[in-house]
Chain A
């Protein structure tokens, strides 16, 4: 028998029982659709995270943390603290250290973590935010992902980069319209005049006034970037970025919280964190070793890659298990359908054997029928999974846009998933067809010919 004949026979036989074939195939469609959605969701999330990091070259960064900052950050569940081998007091993260670290092989850039609180005013809208001081080099690197506009070009430029999410909070829907607009940045400075006035201390303690006053500066919005990371050890951790030279001219509090404000009293001067960019991943270890030798803590995202991979693998396995349940149910449907088909076509099998069909011919006829169900289930399951992913993506992005978050693609459909889903569906269907097929091949033609 020719392959084309097997396929034609399969369609012919399945078409005879349209409703049953449709329902059985639909079971496979649901199973494959669920499986494809689950896997593509897992892959989509992995791709999002990895692409984001790779796009921004985040794997090339090492964060060096002063001991006091490390203790503070250790409270954050997302942050993994690396313990130095020795317990001696850590080196102060000052300009001398920055100079030293930039002399190491492979180090392209090192810049401190500097942020200060400010009140931003754009038009009638105001928002409180932390402003990060970011070197021009970093601002011009691919770490800074601009949606529109351009980075500031010098350390003394009177310009800022603002995130798209902050813009939305400031009621600006179209990022393009913000480019070139003036934004007022009001910093907080310590003002003891209120404190020294009669009754000043009581007024402050009663919460009626604060020992701070505001100092306003006006900047031009040069560019709009995607939302930066706030909780992770990423070099960009604010919604507003300004050049260091410009920041140095501003009066401001260097503390980012009341906690920091009180903690910083009496402590040695220095930065809380230092971000170091290396030209290649192979220099990560030497930079870390240098910092840790000086009693500092370090963090490199690349160290988390393996952990991330393991976490994603576990997630994949979980999603796969959920999808497999649907496939197992669909397989039972195929077995049921094929067994029913054999019972109904019992005499037909006998006739085929009587006119010269071998057991192998009979097996192949039923195997092809299972395969056709699997193929149709795989193709339509893939389409279903794809449609479901589009719908879920739309809903998720609708919710995210309301929260000011950028657009994400939750699902990924690599070519191997599309091809693999169809092949997997065929293989599962063939496996489900083994028992019915063997049963068909075992039919005794004499008994079958007497069968009504």
Chain B
């Protein structure tokens, strides 16, 4: 582990409260990911994988501890700063694809640019480029309902890449896909990691697949990092 890492956490904890009941989702996690690293995160359900991903992606804020990304302490960011961080620094991919059903593939990919000062023409041109990169240019005018699961996930990857972020956070991107499509998706992420020097942090239950492509692996259990290893 690189403790001067590109992405670094220090004693990162997250506790959810529901009335008097407190659930510790993450407990003093220390993590360091180097620039250009492909980190695989595995663990059982409820081990804190998604919580870690939400914290690293700036969707949630830690209860205690710190998160540093590219030298900036994002755990101290305001709501607006976190939004800008999500917009420009990270690209997130989810198990449920999370693309808007009423938008076409092209509109979905262009969505993050809508919140920047980019003209419509530029937005659509860049979205087309991204769709071409994931091999979906011919399907740009189709809505999610007309696309397969793998195609929808590729739309989500293209959307995550539209702002040319430094980090890709993928929360079980293969969870809803068959094994062949899962492999294709991981290959795309691996390709981005190797050829564009993107830092990829990916959660998956498919340890073998992850181990095949990841540079490093960690296993979470009950909010703790219980195992660290290098990939195959």
Contact = CB atoms under 8 A, between A and B. Distances in A.
A356 B102 contact: no
Nearest to B92: A354
A445 B111 contact: no
A356 B79 contact: no
7 contacts: A350-B98, A351-B99, A353-B83, A355-B86, A359-B79, A449-B59, A449-B98
Interface of B: 54, 57, 59-60, 79-80, 83-84, 86-88, 92, 94, 96, 98-100, 102, 111-112, 114-117, 119-120, 159, 163
Interface residues of A, number: 24
Contacts, number: 66
A307 interface: no
Nearest to B60: A446
Contacts of B99: 351
B117 A2 contact: yes
Contacts of A4: 120
Which 9 A-B pairs have CB atoms at the shortest separation, nearest pair first?
Answer: A356-B87, A358-B83, A355-B112, A356-B86, A357-B115, A358-B80, A351-B98, A445-B59, A361-B115
A4 B87 CA distance: 21
Contacts of A355: 86-87, 92, 111-112, 115, 159
A16 B84 contact: no
Given A2-B117, A446-B54, A446-B60, A352 B111 contact: yes
Given A353-B83, A357-B115, 9 more contacts: A1-B114, A1-B116, A348-B100, A352-B115, A355-B111, A356-B88, A361-B83, A449-B94, A449-B98
Interface in A2-33: 2, 4-5, 8-9, 16
A363 interface: no
A75 interface: no
B114 A358 contact: no
Contact of B59 (A347, A361, A446): A446
B120 A351 contact: no
Contacts of B88: 356
Given A1-B114, A355-B112, A347 B98 contact: yes
B59 A358 contact: no
B162 to A, nearest CB: 8
Interface in A403-430: none
Interface in A335-354: 347-348, 350-354
A360 interface: yes
Contacts of A356: 83-84, 86-88, 112, 115-116, 163
B83 A359 contact: yes
A357 B114 CA distance: 9
Contacts of A352: 111, 115
Contact of A5 (B79, B87, B120): B120
B71 to A, nearest CB: 20
B114 A354 contact: no
A298 B94 CA distance: 88
Contacts of A446: 54, 59-60
Contact of A449 (B87, B96, B120): B96
Nearest to A6: B114
B114 A16 contact: no
A353 B84 CA distance: 10
Pick the most buried of B84, B88, B99, B102: most chain A CB atoms within 10 A of its CB: B102
A351 B100 contact: yes
A347 B96 CA distance: 11
